[in-house]
Amino acid sequence: MPRFGTAIAALTAVALSATMVACDSGSSADADGRVTLDYWLWDDQQLPAYQACADAFTQANPDVTVKITQTAWAQYWQNLTTNLAGGSAPDVWTDHASYYPQFVTSNQILDIQPYVDKDQVDVGQYQAGLADLFVKDGKRYGLPKDWDTMALVYNTKLVNDATGLDQLTWNPADGGTFEKAIAAATVDANGKNGLDPAFDRAHVKTYGFLPEWADGGQGQNGWGDLAVANGFTFLDKNPWGTHYNYDDPKLAETITWFKHLIDAGYAPKFDKQSTLSRDAVMDSGAGAFTIVGSWTIGTYLGTSAKQKYAFAPLPTGPAGRRTAINGLSDAIYAGTKHPDQAWAWVKFLGSADCQNLVGDKAVVFPAIKSGTDKALAAHRAAGRDVHVFTDEATAPGGTFFLPITDHGNEVSQVVQDAIQSVVLGQAPAADALKKANDQVNGLLQ
Amino acid sequence: MKRGWIVTTTEDRVAVTAPPALKTRPRDDRRVAWLFLAPVLIGFAVFYLYPTFRGVWYSLTDYSLLNTPSFVGVENYDKLIGDAQFWKSLRITAYYVVLNIASQTVLALGLAALMHRLTGSIMLRATLLLPWLVPNVTVALLWMWLLDTNLGLVNHLLAAAGLDTQGFLVSPTQALPTIAIINSWAYTGYTALLLYAGMLQIPVELYESAGLDGAGEWRMFRRITLPLLRPILALVLVVSLIGSFQIFDTVAVTEKVVPVGAGRVIYFYIYQQAFKYFHMGYASAVAMVLVVILGLLTLVQLRLLRASHSDLT
């Protein structure tokens, strides 16, 4: 039982301990000039690839050792924040486009533009647009390391006819051929599918589509991609826009269509959906289609998957086929004691030498094309067909970047709450989204 | 009335504990006393007193965790008055506290009375404590699995019994009651043991004579157990009231699946403002308001239950 004490104690104790442990930055240098850099990342699957990079880096720079710390995503940002507050952050950390604005605003990331200029790093070598995501007011806060796009994944046993899945169409009015494919894959307790007039929507055994409703203000795993394919744009400009467009009717139409999927029995009711991840529900065989990112390739095509899956491109909407593309970068801590060595490491991480090593492990798609080619080749050698992700990434006008602004976390919460209230039937889409839009734009003023 | 059962008043205590003998006591003893007290006092000062004052200071600044705090006066408190999310989180917390305290106290009282009148089994007492020994995060994860709509045991049983399956944590109306029930499950045994210990202090003769006079168990419970248990009951209620207000772990674990922030209690709101939105100053202001609310509630409760007076006087 919590102790009888002042309610503030727990909260401030955290702040206190953070300031008390604030003694020194993570890196260290001993007497003969040898330097150990602290480097953080969250993905355990990527750890071996980056350890290979670190070993190669130390071989080329014998005076610098890189110590990699991996922390799970759920704790990563909070650990980083606490360490930044305590002045003991790692010299270099893996950064995310949605999370880095807050660290830029609070002057925690080193501007590497002077280094880029001095060493003449070619920022055009990366997948188009990725390098610009980490630039604000002429200052550069990271070099791209990898990218991801979204696609449909389907259970090949539940979707027995794959013809035409690479050319699905979608619109918010009748759902196009995408909705037909979803309906055909939905099966009720009597074995009738969603296209059958006798389909019993109250007793569904297999859902045609599993939507993701805890998807922040971006809808990367579903509504965002379709809304953009419907002509929606998140922001007046990206990155660093100052006005969101969540009140756009094109977004409201998209959310309403998703709600229609639920009402028709093609997707689980919001207040009866599983608390487990969509990956787990797909693996239990209770869902036929869902939208996933290329970072889940290992989950669906790996050896531990309990069902057989294949990928298909996202459906083409009224404004074309559009996928969110997102990239990670490496950031240097503004308070590092070894900025030169940290830059050397970041430059190496952003080079073809390291990204080819990462590509060989086929865990992510590196930001440099040669690295992506290596990853594709490794996937092909292992019998995994993942070309839809790279095709979508290179299709002209086929991608959009996730919105990058200040107050990203707050915006996400407000918009997610609004969208959930719509799906629950608590409010019409247009009203809830208008209200949320006013609220988030209020934050940006 | 038997003297041994009179709770001494403050005046009595002063009279008893300020004996003239003090003058003859050598000073060394006091130094030793301070020495023994020092660890606690230092701990209290470093981990409670200092953070509290720092919290008051932060609540008057624009501290973001990553900047140098600068004084903004009562701006945070001003903002708080018009903050719909703050009021919503207070309402959710109040609802939770009512649900949790009601279910937990009634259940615990029943369990304690049964143990008191029927059995003294140590095994039983130990079993009751088991849920309380499981870390809260584990409890939350465990129940999330049990209550899952697709793969959970509870819904499986409901379906097997021909009943409708329930959303529990993913339903906006059921989420908070579900969290309250989960925590009642975890804490009822502990509360029951506290009450049981209180019941053991009630003289057995009272029950014996009441029995001779023909009083039944229910009557004895109402006329003997409840009134004489009042000081312990007051303590238990105060502790569980504050404990319920501080509900956090179960909410934090289930937050991702509970829709539209239906479980976003005040402590979660404070955490969110401080560590997710980087408004440490504002979060501190909310925490200060919570301190005041809890202080007032405790005072009212102690007054209502006349905690320092037993009915035995």
What is the per-residue pLDDT for A415?
97
Top residue of A3, A6, A12 to mutate, by most chain B CBs within 10 Å, is: A12
Residue of A nearest to B190 (CA): A1
Over residues B245-257, the mean pLDDT reads 90
Residue B47 and residue B97 in one domain: no
The sign of the torsion formed by the CA atoms of A269, A270, A276, A278 equals positive
Domain range list for chain A: 15-147+327-386, 150-325+400-444
Calculate the alpha carbon distances from A201 to A56, A177, A211, B116, B166 in Å: 57, 20, 17, 53, 17
What is the per-residue pLDDT for B7?
37
| Model confidence at B1: pLDDT above 70 | no
Top residue of B76, B149, B163 to mutate, by most chain A CBs within 10 Å, is: B149
| Model confidence at B86: pLDDT above 90 | yes
Measured between CB atoms, which of B151, B245, B261 is closest to A417? B261
Q: Which CATH number fits domain A150-325+400-444: 3.30.930.10, 3.20.20.220, 3.40.190.10, 3.30.110.60?
A: 3.40.190.10
What is the per-residue pLDDT for B235?
85
What is the per-residue pLDDT for A24?
42
Q: How far apart are CA A444 and CA B239, in angstroms?
A: 42
What is the per-residue pLDDT for B99?
95
Contacts of B170 in chain A (CB under 8 A): 270-275
Over residues B237-259, the mean pLDDT reads 89
Question: And the tokens for A279?
Answer: 């990956």
Contacts of B277 in chain A (CB under 8 A): 407, 409-410
| Model confidence at B19: pLDDT above 80 | no
Using 50, 70 and 90 to split pLDDT, how confident is the model at B31? Answer: confident
Q: How far apart are CA B121 and CA B131, in angstroms?
A: 18
Least confident of A47-51, B10-14, B38-42: B10-14
What is the per-residue pLDDT for A4?
35
Tell me the percentage of chain A whose pLDDT exceeds 70: 93
Q: How far apart are CA B30 and CA B37, in angstroms?
A: 10
Residue B3 and residue B98 in one domain: no
Residue B17's domain comprises: 1-58
Residue B137 and residue B50 in one domain: no
Alpha-carbon gap: B288 to the closest alpha carbon of chain A (Å): 7
Residue B184 inside a domain? The answer is yes
* pLDDT tens digit sequence for B115-156: 888 877 788 888 888 999 999 899 999 999 999 987 889 999
What is the per-residue pLDDT for A36?
96
Top residue of B132, B158, B170, B237 to mutate, by most chain A CBs within 10 Å, is: B170
* pLDDT tens digit sequence for A294-338: 999 999 999 999 999 999 999 999 999 999 999 999 999 999 999
Q: Which residues of chain A have pLDDT under 50?
A: 1-25
In one-letter notation, the amino acid at residue A274 is S
The separation between the first and the last C-alpha atoms of chain A, rounded to the nearest angstrom, is 43
- Residue range A15-147+327-386, CATH number: 3.40.190.10
Residue A322, classified by CB atoms within 10 Å of its CB into exposed (0-12), middle (13-18) or buried (19+), is buried
* Buried-exposed string A88-108: b where 16+ CB fall within 10 A, e elsewhere: bbbbbbbbbbbbbbbbbbbeb
Over residues B304-310, the mean pLDDT reads 64
A and B: number of Cβ contacts within 8 A: 137
Residue B129 and residue B45 in one domain: no
Calculate the alpha carbon distances from A255 to A247, A252, A393, A429, B241 in Å: 12, 5, 25, 7, 41
Q: What are phi and psi of A236, to 5 degrees?
A: -65, -35
Interacting residues of A30 by C-beta distance below 8 A, sequence separation 6+ = none
* pLDDT tens digit sequence for B90-106: 999 999 999 999 999 99
Residue B209 and residue B147 in one domain: yes
Q: A222, A422 in Cβ contact below 8 A?
A: no
Measured between CB atoms, which of A8, A214, A424 is closest to B52? A8
Residue B70 inside a domain? The answer is no
What is the per-residue pLDDT for B122?
82
Measured between CB atoms, which of A78, A85, A417 is closest to B260? A417
